[in-house]
A and B are shown apart, each in its own frame.
Chain A
Amino acid sequence: MASKTAAKKPAKKPAKKKAATGAKASGADIPKEVLLDLHRRMVRIRHLEENLGRISTEGKVPGFLHLYVGEEAVASGGCAALTDQDQITSTHRGHGHLIAKGGDFNRMMAEFMGKSTGYCKGKGGSMHVSDLDLGMLGANGIVGAGVPIAVGAAFANFYRDNGLVTMAFFGDGSTNIGAFHEAANMACALHLPIVFMCENNEYAEYTARDRVMAITDVADRAVAYGMPGVIVDGMDVVAVYEAATEAVARARRGDGPSMIEAKTYRYYDHAGVQGLGRTYRSDAEVQEWLDRDPIDLFEAQLSKARVLSKAAAKKVHDEVQAEVDAAIEFADNSPFPDPATDLLTDVYTEMN
């Protein structure tokens, strides 16, 4: 059954504390190249995920798949506020975070197919895809478990006084697990350079938020740890980017953690493209969010502002699709790992 609350449009919600631009982010002050960069990041996520969903139905992708389609504005807006050296932690729904941090399609697609050329040599798959060189400390199969790891990375940045910031991506559901609370409290107690980026997609797996939480806004939790918490429209990439930019700047100048709650929505099911049950959310609710698609909304804004014409936008989509096609071909043509040589490697770091 669809929850009434979940169907509400987040833009109408009063923010507990308004983000820099609130819900009416126009991006007027944002340089054109940043706007185009935000757009491309979202398009890259969308195309990779849509194609991945498609080939998964063809049986090319082993295991579980948690698609990020619909939530592109959060990863894109968040990661665009970071430098290449800044770190992120991710979730089981982590492809978008890696793409937004600059992930390579070939190595991602190969990993999802279990190939030896993948990011994790085929040993991690969708739920553990990572690129430490990009500061992406792993998708994670355990809900909430990335957040304490993010606190550790943030501590290292504090320890080295290197000016880097860590952004922990996590869902609304993970804020109910103890690890999240422990990590949020520790980060605030130690005053670490970290941003807690909550993707509130209103469902913890297949269960509506209002069935498992007595509060509507995850950002309400921030005050309990002693950090600011803001709510942004997670379908508005500029709103996410501006809130993230402010939170990252705050962390970078040593003013401690903050939390951003981005209200967003997951188009596909918790796992796969279409799960077994269709009873947990209504078609009307899904449609309401589809009508506020973050890429469509942003392209309309960019077109109106004469930043990106419709033709130019299409060109971006075509370029990205070609990149995805090439990645699928690369992955298809890549070998599987060899059990004889690869099964038992990398369990340990060999010493001396």
Chain B
Amino acid sequence: MTATEVDQRVITYNQAFNETLFELMREDEDIFIAGEDVGRYGGVFQSFAGLNKEFGDRRVVDTPIAEQAIVGLGLGAAAVGLRPIVDLMFMDFVMVAMDQIANQAAKMKYMFGGKATVPLTITTTGGAGLGAAAQHSASLEAWLIHVPGLKLVYPSNPYDLKGLLVSCVRDDNPTIVTLHKAMLGSKGPVPEGLYEIPLGQANIVREGKDASVVAFGRMVQFAEKAAAVLAEEGIDVEIIDPRTLLPFDSEAVVNSARKTNRVVVVHEAVRNGGIGAEIAAQIQEEAFDYLDAPVGRVGAPFSPVPFSPALEREYVPDADDIAAAVRATFNR
């Protein structure tokens, strides 16, 4: 069942996030939200607007600017049975809180021999494109998928955002929901009411037979543009959006590779050590004999995210980069 069959109502990515939080909190009294500016102000992007007014200071908590304590607040509360949602505002701030995320929340269950349950959701905004410069534009999925115990989603549209957020909040493990900050105003059909998109299940955004593009987050819309251009050149592109990066739907990607024999992996983070390297490695392990070309990788060049729009435009991968990488798989 696709989104359009369910409901034609169109809202923004940010509205989908906000609405989902209202619906989840009405459903489950154990859910609370904590983070910087999430309460009275409604979040720096107004993603949390109105929640404090409806649910009060007890359930929508303004915190100090203290990322370690914010994650610790969620972790300690989760370990004793609540279902917290804590916000880290910008994905770069994940690094400030990394001990509580990676050493504490992610490892608690295993270290305690399975006794602990940590139904903690961390929300954050990743990605460049707003001139937010080097400390407010990161995509750190590669850092986080390296940590056993975590789950991570990076939705590419409002419909997926809602379903993935619901699944993350209802999950009994520490999950990280990454919104792309340049997509907050992007629109799409979203049904009212709660629904889940299973974690670890990729979406075939576009079926094709000649080459596969694996893309997530904001890169999906660029992949779609590239596919339209390539279609005119006679190249039929399949687009796979993994949606969840941890756990990763390797099967969907490998199946697509076996079908099209050419794969390009796209992400916004720098290529070096990026998730594209992991995905490419999995493809060569599982589908080497099917490949007609090396797996292509599209990612940002190896520098911090630049500030000036002139530089940032060049830095962030776009449809042209993706199309060029797909063409390259035919030139071998």
- Which B residues touch A158, using CB under 8 A? 58
In the complex, which residues of chain B have a beta carbon less than 8 angstroms from the beta carbon of A157? 80
CA of A154 to CA of B32, assembled, Å: 14
Q: Known contacts A179-B68, A182-B66; decide if A118 and B113 are in contact (CB<8 Å).
A: yes
Interface residues of A in 154-205 (CB under 8 A from B): 154-160, 166, 178-179, 182-183, 185-186, 189-190
Residues of B close to A131: CB separation below 8 A = 115
Chain B 178-221 interface residues, beta-carbon cutoff 8 Å to A: 199
Contacts of A185 in B (CB 8 A): 64, 66, 69
Q: Closest B-chain residue to A192, C-beta based?
A: B73
Interface residues in B24-48 (C-beta closer than 8 Å to A):
32, 34
A351 and B80 CA atoms in complex are apart in Å by 18
Contact present for B112 and A183 (CB under 8 Å): no
Interface residues on B, range: 35 or more
Q: Chain A residues with Cβ under 8 A from B66's Cβ? A: 182-183, 185-186
Which one of A141, A151, A178, A182 has the greatest number of beta carbons of chain B within 10 Å? Answer: A182
Q: How far is the CB of A108 from chain B (nearest CB, A)?
A: 13
In-complex Cβ contact of B75 among A121, A141, A149, A347 (8 A)? A149
Cβ-neighbour of A148 out of B59, B69, B113, B149 (below 8 A): B69
Q: What are the residues of chain B within 8 A of A120 when measuring CB–CB?
A: 111-113, 115
Closest-CB distance, B315 to chain A (whole angstroms): 31
Does B142 make an interface contact (CB < 8 A)? no
Q: Across the interface, do A138 and B108 meet the contact criterion of CB distance under 8 Å?
A: yes
Q: Are A121 and B114 in contact (CB under 8 A)?
A: yes
Task: Tell me the bound Cα distance from A157 to B77 in angstroms.
Answer: 8
A29 within 8 A of B: no
Q: Are A142 and B104 CB-contacts (below 8 A) given A128-B111, A182-B69?
A: yes
**A221 near B: Cβ within 8 Å?**
no
Task: Give the Cβ gap from B77 to chain A, nearest Cβ, in Å.
Answer: 4
Whole-angstrom CA separation of A132 from B173 in the bound complex:
17
Verify A159–B32 contact, CB threshold 8 A. yes
Least CB distance from B114 to A in Å reads 3
Q: A152 to B103, alpha carbons, bound, how many Å? A: 16
CB of A153 within 8 A of CB of B173, answer: no
Report the minimal beta-carbon distance from B121 to chain A, rounded to whole angstroms.
Answer: 14
CA distance A118 to B111 in the complex (A): 11
| Contact partners of B70 in chain A: CB under 8 A | 186
Contacts known (A122-B113, A148-B100, A346-B109); A183 close to B72, Cβ less than 8 A:
yes
Residues of chain B within 8 A (CB-CB) of A153 are 76-77, 79-80
Name the distance in Å between A43's Cβ and chain B's nearest Cβ: 27
Within 8 A of B (CB), among A307-352: 345-349, 351
Per the bound structure, the CA–CA distance linking A121 and B109 in Å amounts to: 11
Contact A182 B58 (CB under 8 A): no
A145 within 8 A of B: yes
Chain A's nearest CB lies how many Å from the CB of B69? 4
A147 contacts the other chain (CB 8 A): yes
> Nearest Cβ in chain B — how far from A228, in angstroms?
20
B80, A156: Cβ atoms closer than 8 Å:
yes
Q: How far is the CB of A121 from chain B (nearest CB, A)?
A: 4
Q: Tell me whether A156 and B82 are in contact in the complex, defined as CB-CB below 8 angstroms, given that A151-B76, A351-B172 are known contacts.
A: yes
Q: A132-B115, A153-B77, A153-B80 are in contact. Are A348 and B149 (CB under 8 A)?
A: yes
Chain A, interface size category, equals 35 or more
Q: Kindly state the separation between the CA atoms of A89 and B116 in the bound complex, as whole angstroms.
A: 14
Contact yes or no, A145 B111, CB < 8 A: no
> A150: CB under 8 A from chain B?
yes
A137 within 8 A of B: yes
Task: Give Cα A141 to B76, complex, Å.
Answer: 16
Interface centre among B64, B71, B148, B199 (most CB of A within 10 A): B64
> Which residue from chain A places its CB closest to the CB of B118 in the assembled complex?
A349
- Which A residue's beta carbon lies closest to that of B71? A148
Q: Are B72 and A346 in contact (CB under 8 A)?
A: no
Q: Please tell me if the beta carbons of A151 and B69 are within 8 angstroms of each other in the complex.
A: yes
Neighbouring B residues of A148 by C-beta, 8 Å = 68-69, 71-73, 75-76, 100
Q: Which of A123-142 contact B (CB under 8 A)?
A: 123-124, 128, 130-133, 137-138, 140-142
Mark interface residues in B101-133 (1 if CB within 8 Å of A CB, else 0): 001100011111111111000000000000000
Q: A142-B104, A148-B68, A148-B71 are in contact. Are A346 and B110 (CB under 8 A)?
A: yes
Report the bound CA distance from A148 to B76 in whole Å.
7
| Distance between A167 CB and nearest chain B CB, rounded to angstroms | 13
Please indicate the chain A residues that have their CB under 8 angstroms from the CB of B73 in the complex. Answer: 148, 151-152, 155, 186
A121, A147, A151, A152, most chain B CB atoms within 10 A: A152
Instruction: Give bound CA distance, A151 to B68, whole Å.
Output: 11
**Chain B residues, Cβ within 8 Å of A141:** 103
The 8 A-B pairs of least Cβ separation, nearest first, read A152-B76, A148-B72, A346-B114, A121-B113, A120-B113, A182-B69, A182-B66, A349-B172
A sample of 28 cross-chain residue pairs with beta-carbon separation below 8 angstroms, ordered by A number, consists of A118-B113, A119-B115, A120-B113, A124-B112, A132-B80, A132-B112, A138-B111, A145-B99, A145-B100, A145-B103, A149-B72, A150-B76, A159-B82, A160-B82, A166-B76, A179-B99, A182-B64, A182-B69, A185-B66, A186-B63, A186-B66, A190-B63, A346-B109, A347-B110, A348-B149, A349-B172, A349-B173, A351-B172
Given contact pairs A120-B112, A348-B149, a sample of 9 additional A-B residue pairs in the complex whose CB atoms are under 8 Å apart = A122-B113, A123-B112, A130-B111, A131-B115, A149-B72, A160-B82, A182-B64, A185-B64, A351-B172
